[in-house]
Amino acid sequence: MSGPGLHRWEVNMASDQSAQSAVKVTVYGRTGSPPCYAIRDFLYRNDVPFEWVELRTDEEARAIGLHGPNDERLPVCVFPDGTRMERPTIRVLTEKLGWFRDPSLSEYDLAIYGAGPAGLSAAVYGASEGLKTVVVERWAIGGQAGSSPKIENYLGFPKGISGAELAERAREQACRFGAEILIAREGVRGEFTAGKRIGYLADGTKVTSRAAICATGVDYHRLEVPNEERLRSAGVYYGAGAGEASLCVGHHVVVVGGGNSAAQATMHFSRYSPHVTLVVRGSSLKSSVSAYLIDRIQSASNVEVLTQTEVVALEGDELLEAVIVRNVQTGEHRRIETHWVFVCIGGAPRTEWAVEAGVARDEAGYLLTGPDLSGNGQPPKPWPLDRPPYFLETNIPGLFAAGDVRHGSVKRCASAVGEGAMAVTFVHRYLSGG
Ligand SMILES: Cc1cc2nc3c(=O)[nH]c(=O)nc-3n(C[C@H](O)[C@H](O)[C@H](O)COP(=O)(O)OP(=O)(O)OC[C@H]3O[C@@H](n4cnc5c(N)ncnc54)[C@H](O)[C@@H]3O)c2cc1C
């Protein structure tokens, strides 16, 4: 199946357990191809050990029965049992990995939407406290945290832990307590009737529960510059790209953003890339980045920080070729040749479904809960119960919000985990009629 001299990367897996286990999937493809990136990202974020084989010439492609590196059948995935899949969908992959499942119960006590830190924490507490619990996750376990190369401020991990490893440990813990996790399934609509919270998934599957927690976090902001959509996943990536770093050896990498996640990503790429440019719109990193990260950035000889600078254009047809940045003070433009840009400029919640379902949001789309539902300490209107909403309860009784999706949340892992746990306490109170 494989020819000599192919460009292979055994992708560093997040958890020790996966790093020690044999490669499960070999993925053949072309760097800069969006479908290839989607599969690499999905496997990395879900902690599936895999090998990435980049096809650069017709000869290399012919060795696996294809015409060339642009063959439309790419990516090709080959499993240890010999199964070969050409351009598989994520659904087909989850089926092959044995992860695809429909809800096993007609009704759960608790349905959780989102398997980031908040959702996973809620799953651990819910399932361990005897609630029949299901988690619905659109993409991969871990959410934003799963894309973090190293979380260093999470309690109990003095040397830091990769977000994907933290997520994998939480997944295992939740499953041990009996939580059911539906991966690569997206909640798209909610219906709330007396005592029932019904979630409809994108494929039409219905999940019925007595209480629900929305822990869907935020989605990365876009740069909002020309060509961005076309070059998305073809040189322009969102988040810290922990799984891509080993492919950046020898390449100039550009990271955009002035917060901790951009700083973390910069330091991570600096271990692989000869030159990392961090593009920051503000005048310094001081107000937005932890001191320990600033120290590391300043002492890294291959890292350049461009402050008061913004990305104004992206160049490239099928693959990103260059980024144009502009100094906002001087107006000076600079062209940086690169195939790798990672955008870490924060995010916004995707809660459009809430409008139809009558769930109260703030102007930016974050879900309102508890005291935030009414400024004057009175219950929101309409509100059908005698008691006021619990702290993490939305204006729909029995529907809670936890983590980054919630109005006023602190955008940190520990806070999301704390809110997930706290939401379960309120779920118990709600279910016991309180
Ligand atoms: C690169 C990076 C590095 C970071 N580093 C740190 C750090 O070092 N320390 C720290 O404290 N914080 C860090 N953060 C912030 C931290 O990761 C977030 O605050 C935290 O992940 C929020 O957790 P959450 O569960 O609320 O949401 P998220 O992590 O955003 O998870 C939400 C999940 O919901 C899923 N989802 C969305 N919509 C749907 C839907 N309709 N149906 C089903 N599922 C859905 C998403 O796919 C996602 O998996 C970092 C963030 C980033 C991006």
The residue whose C-alpha atom lies closest to atom 15 belonging to ligand 1 is 412
Q: Counting Cβ atoms within 10 Å, is residue 100 exposed (0-12), middle (13-18) or buried (19+)?
A: middle
The b/e string for 318-353 (b: 16+ C-beta within 10 A; e otherwise) is eebebbebbeeeeeeeeebebbbbbbbbebebebeb
Residue 190: strand pairing partners: 199
- Compute and round to an integer the Cα radius of gyration of the chain: 23
Model confidence at 4, in pLDDT bands (50, 70, 90)? Answer: very low
Query: pLDDT by residue (tens digit) across 399-410?
Result: 999 999 999 999
Q: State in Å: Cα 411 to ligand 1 middle.
A: 9
The yes-or-no verdict on residue 379 having pLDDT over 80 is no
Q: What is the pLDDT of residue 147?
A: 84
Q: State in Å: Cα 217 to ligand 1 middle.
A: 5
Q: State in Å: Cα 344 to ligand 1 middle.
A: 12
Model confidence at 21, in pLDDT bands (50, 70, 90)? Answer: low
Q: State in Å: Cα 238 to ligand 1 middle.
A: 13
The yes-or-no verdict on residue 165 having pLDDT over 80 is yes
Q: State in Å: Cα 338 to ligand 1 middle.
A: 27
Q: State in Å: Cα 117 to ligand 1 middle.
A: 7
The pTM score is 0.91
Lowest model confidence (mean pLDDT) among 13-27, 84-98, 118-132, 377-391: 13-27
Lowest model confidence (mean pLDDT) among 283-297, 371-385, 386-400, 417-431: 371-385
Model confidence at 2, in pLDDT bands (50, 70, 90)? Answer: very low
Q: What is the pLDDT of residue 14?
A: 54
Q: Percent of the chain scored above 70 by pLDDT? A: 94
Mutate to test the pocket of ligand 1, among 41, 148, 165, 369 (most ligand atoms within 8 A of CB): 148
DSSP 361: B
Atom of ligand 1 nearest to the CA of 219: 30
Q: What is the pLDDT of residue 22?
A: 63
Atom of ligand 1 nearest to the CA of 142: 49
Task: Report d(CA 150, CA 146) in Å as an integer.
Answer: 9
Q: State in Å: Cα 56 to ligand 1 middle.
A: 35
Task: Report d(CA 145, CA 126) in Å as an integer.
Answer: 21
The yes-or-no verdict on residue 128 having pLDDT over 80 is yes
The residue whose C-alpha atom lies closest to atom 26 belonging to ligand 1 is 403
Q: What is the pLDDT of residue 3?
A: 42
Task: Report d(CA 168, CA 178) in Å as an integer.
Answer: 15
The yes-or-no verdict on residue 10 having pLDDT over 70 is no
Q: What is the mean pLDDT of the chain?
A: 92
Token pair of 28, please? 């053949």
What is the average per-residue pLDDT within 335-357?
Answer: 96
Model confidence at 428, in pLDDT bands (50, 70, 90)? Answer: very high
The yes-or-no verdict on residue 297 having pLDDT over 90 is yes
Q: State in Å: Cα 150 to ligand 1 middle.
A: 14
What is the average per-residue pLDDT within 160-173?
Answer: 92
Q: State in Å: Cα 261 to ligand 1 middle.
A: 11
The residue whose C-alpha atom lies closest to atom 41 belonging to ligand 1 is 187
Q: What is the pLDDT of residue 1?
A: 40
The residue whose C-alpha atom lies closest to atom 35 belonging to ligand 1 is 114
The residue whose C-alpha atom lies closest to atom 4 belonging to ligand 1 is 261
Residues with CB under 6 A from ligand 1: 113-119, 136-139, 143-145, 147-148, 151-153, 186-187, 215-218, 239-240, 260-261, 264, 344, 350, 403-404, 411-414, 416
Model confidence at 24, in pLDDT bands (50, 70, 90)? Answer: confident
The yes-or-no verdict on residue 322 having pLDDT over 60 is yes
Mutate to test the pocket of ligand 1, among 409, 413, 417, 419 (most ligand atoms within 8 A of CB): 413
Give 290's contacts (C-beta < 8 A, 6+ positions apart): 153, 260, 263
What is the average per-residue pLDDT within 266-287?
Answer: 95
Mutate to test the pocket of ligand 1, among 144, 205, 411 (most ligand atoms within 8 A of CB): 144
Query: pLDDT by residue (tens digit) across 187-231?
Result: 999 999 888 999 999 999 999 999 999 999 999 999 999 999 999
Q: State in Å: Cα 334 to ligand 1 middle.
A: 33
* HSE-CB for 270 with a 13 A CA cutoff: 20
Q: What is the pLDDT of residue 18?
A: 52
Q: Tell me which amino acid residue 108 is.
A: Y
Model confidence at 83, in pLDDT bands (50, 70, 90)? Answer: very high
Ranges of H-type helices in 50-96: 58-62, 90-96
Q: What is the pLDDT of residue 31?
A: 87
What is the average per-residue pLDDT within 417-426?
Answer: 98
